[in-house]
A and B are shown apart, each in its own frame.
Chain A
Amino acid sequence: MDVIIENLPLYWEGFLRTLFLSVVSGAIALVLGTLLAAARVSPVAALRGFSMTYVEVLRNTPLTIAFFFAAIVLPRLGVRFEQFEVAAIIALSTYTAAFIAEAVRSGVNSVHVGQAEAARSIGMQFGQVLSLIILPQALRTVIPPLINILIALTKNSSVAGAFFVLELFGYGRQLANANGDQVMTVLLGVAFFYLLITVPLGILASTVERKVAISR
């Protein structure tokens, strides 16, 4: 226990970094994923094709590859980052967006087709139908899977630790190296701080689910 209490500031620093990575990547992924889902159901074939390819590629390759691309390939192509954190955020959000897109798409499919027909028949265009009628209903039905994805994102952010970003897992590794005799305790501490983010997310999921459930 002592090793945790002694290094609480370090843990806290790591916790805040992880939280930052998760929140920023999560927000970007939600926006990007929703746009991808919208592209996937749009009447424009090129958009549908792009969205499908994006989702299939990112969803079916390991996150580590996304990190290698963001941290190593992008800089070689001339994209320079001040900090590796930016690369981590790019990797995490582009990867997670693929999963969000699939969840949102399933939500869009769950909205009764009559809703879109009614919206079109009062003169709304595709963008309005989607943003005013379909997505608000679709997003409510997919809040539980979306939060699942955000929980996975929080845990996935630990991969950033392997790419020189000091977040919770990165600090944990440092501590474990420095305190070889107490690795178990150190890792339990790390796990605890992850739970501090993910458990409330789970609770939030069920609360929100109850609050915004719409009866049909």
Chain B
Amino acid sequence: MFARFISMTTQVPGDALVSLNAVNKHYGQLHVLKDINLNVRKGEVVVVIGPSGSGKSTLCRAINRLETIDTGEIAIDGKKLPEEGKELARLRADVGMVFQSFNLFAHKTILENVTLGPIKVKGLSKAEADKEAMALLERVGVGHQAPKLPAQLSGGQQQRVAIARALAMKPKVMLFDEPTSALDPEMINEVLDVMIQLAKEGMTMIVVTHEMGFARKAADRVVFMADGQIVEDATPEEFFTNPKSNRAKDFLSKLLTH
């Protein structure tokens, strides 16, 4: 009951940290985002799931304008996403992003990967940035890898560094775009553990993933997308035990049989 009450109050855009309002996007003929409305409150963990090609990654990337949208409005902490430029850069600094392919800066050490943003964007001193970065790297369990280059680390370690790099900017919200999809099975948990910890600490998170275990454990809400639309928006409990749409039922049945 209580959970349902919370999920209903989130529909009020006023207190939303991230809000998408009637967002549409086309790739040529393909209508990838169809009239998307989504509000995420501070501290909320929203997991976006759905079959591939459903537009969930595009949705995630649109939130920090790595993808532009055709119509509609996206706002972060009440501020509408600006056009490309200084304003957008400033806003992006408040939105952490973790990619499927890690995207650590290949020519920088692990430590430099984490300190680059704080030094160059926030203007921190190197000493201060180093100290904070080391604390973050310790927190995600890769402190001893600090002087190495990204290619010397395993996928799971690289992704944890990528999370530390995003956290170093002290973001208001973290976006995860299939953070474990490029990982070997035995490395998935080490990344999910870090994410679950983050969720517990109250970070606002939007997570596109295929990890249903994570959705059950850490999500406040599950958003199910298919064919560019949000088909269901429910608590994990509700969604996994009692999906309403046939599309979701079909999707879940395919997952659970394996």
Report yes or no: A118 in contact with B97, Cβ–Cβ below 8 A: yes
Complex: chain A residue closest to B113, CB-CB: A118
Contacts of B105 in A (CB 8 A): 115, 118-119, 133
Report yes or no: A215 in contact with B151, Cβ–Cβ below 8 A: yes
Given the known inter-chain contacts A122-B92, A216-B151, please indicate yes or no for A128 contacting B120, CB distance below 8 A.
Answer: yes
Contact sample, A vs B, 6 pairs, CB 8 Å cutoff: A119-B105, A120-B92, A121-B166, A122-B92, A122-B168, A128-B120
Does A214 touch B at the CB level, under 8 Å?
A: yes
Report yes or no: B90 in contact with A123, Cβ–Cβ below 8 A: yes
Given the known inter-chain contacts A215-B151, A216-B151, please indicate yes or no for A121 contacting B97, CB distance below 8 A.
Answer: yes
The interface size bin for chain A is: 20 to 34
Contacts of B92 in A (CB 8 A): 120-123
- Closest 9 pairs between A and B when the two form their complex, measured CB to CB: A123-B93, A122-B117, A114-B103, A118-B103, A121-B97, A215-B151, A123-B121, A125-B89, A123-B92
Q: In the complex the two chains form, what is the Cα distance from A118 to B105 in whole Å? A: 8
Contact pattern, B 180-220, Cβ under 8 Å of A = 1, otherwise 0: 00000000000000000000000000000000000000000
Q: Shortest CB–CB separation between residue A40 and chain B, in angstroms?
A: 18
How many residue pairs link A and B with beta carbons under 8 A? The number is 75
Interface size on B, residues (CB 8 A): 32
Given the known inter-chain contacts A121-B92, A122-B169, please indicate yes or no for A132 contacting B97, CB distance below 8 A.
Answer: no
Contacts of A119 in B (CB 8 A): 105
Chain A facing B: main interface SS: helix
Contacts of B120 in A (CB 8 A): 124, 128, 132
Besides A121-B96, A122-B121, A123-B93, 14 more A-B contacts (Cβ < 8 Å) are A115-B103, A118-B97, A118-B103, A118-B165, A119-B105, A122-B92, A122-B169, A123-B92, A124-B89, A125-B86, A136-B107, A140-B107, A214-B107, A215-B151
Contacts of B250 in A (CB 8 A): none
Q: Give residues of chain B (58-76) contacting chain A, Cβ–Cβ below 8 Å.
A: 64, 66
Q: Shortest CB–CB separation between residue A130 and chain B, in angstroms?
A: 13
Does A80 touch B at the CB level, under 8 Å?
A: no
Does A117 touch B at the CB level, under 8 Å?
A: yes
Complex: chain B residue closest to A129, CB-CB: B89
Q: In the complex the two chains form, what is the Cα distance from A84 to B168 in whole Å? A: 55
Report yes or no: A124 in contact with B117, Cβ–Cβ below 8 A: yes
Q: In the complex the two chains form, what is the Cα distance from A136 to B107 in whole Å? A: 8
Complex: chain A residue closest to B114, CB-CB: A122
Q: Give residues of chain A (122-180) contacting chain B, Cβ–Cβ below 8 Å.
A: 122-125, 128, 132-133, 136-137, 140
Report yes or no: A43 in contact with B107, Cβ–Cβ below 8 A: no
Does B134 touch A at the CB level, under 8 Å?
A: no
Contact pattern, A 36-77, Cβ under 8 Å of B = 1, otherwise 0: 000000010000000000000000000000000000000000
Q: In the complex the two chains form, what is the Cα distance from A216 to B165 in whole Å? A: 18
Report yes or no: A118 in contact with B149, Cβ–Cβ below 8 A: no
Q: Give residues of chain B (116-166) contacting chain A, Cβ–Cβ below 8 Å.
A: 116-117, 120-122, 149, 151, 162, 165-166
Q: In the complex the two chains form, what is the Cα distance from A123 to B94 in whole Å? A: 8
When the two chains form the complex, which single residue of A114, A118, A121, A216 contacts B95, counting CB atoms closer than 8 Å?
A: A121
Q: Shortest CB–CB separation between residue A132 and chain B, in angstroms?
A: 6
Complex: chain A residue closest to B93, CB-CB: A123
Q: In the complex the two chains form, what is the Cα distance from A125 to B91 in whole Å? A: 11
Q: Shortest CB–CB separation between residue B152 and chain A, in angstroms?
A: 8
Contact pattern, B 71-112, Cβ under 8 Å of A = 1, otherwise 0: 000000000000011100110111111010101111100000
Contact pattern, A 191-214, Cβ under 8 Å of B = 1, otherwise 0: 000000000000000000000001
Report yes or no: A120 in contact with B104, Cβ–Cβ below 8 A: no
When the two chains form the complex, which single residue of A115, A118, A123, A214 contacts B89, counting CB atoms closer than 8 Å?
A: A123
Report yes or no: A117 in contact with B89, Cβ–Cβ below 8 A: no
Complex: chain A residue closest to B152, CB-CB: A215
Report yes or no: A137 in contact with B89, Cβ–Cβ below 8 A: no
Contact pattern, B 224-241, Cβ under 8 Å of A = 1, otherwise 0: 000000000000000000
Q: Shortest CB–CB separation between residue B33 and chain A, in angstroms?
A: 18
Contacts of A214 in B (CB 8 A): 106-107, 149, 151
Q: In the complex the two chains form, what is the Cα distance from A151 to B20 in whole Å? A: 55
Q: In the complex the two chains form, what is the Cα distance from A133 to B121 in whole Å? A: 13
Q: In the complex the two chains form, what is the Cα distance from A216 to B150 in whole Å? A: 8
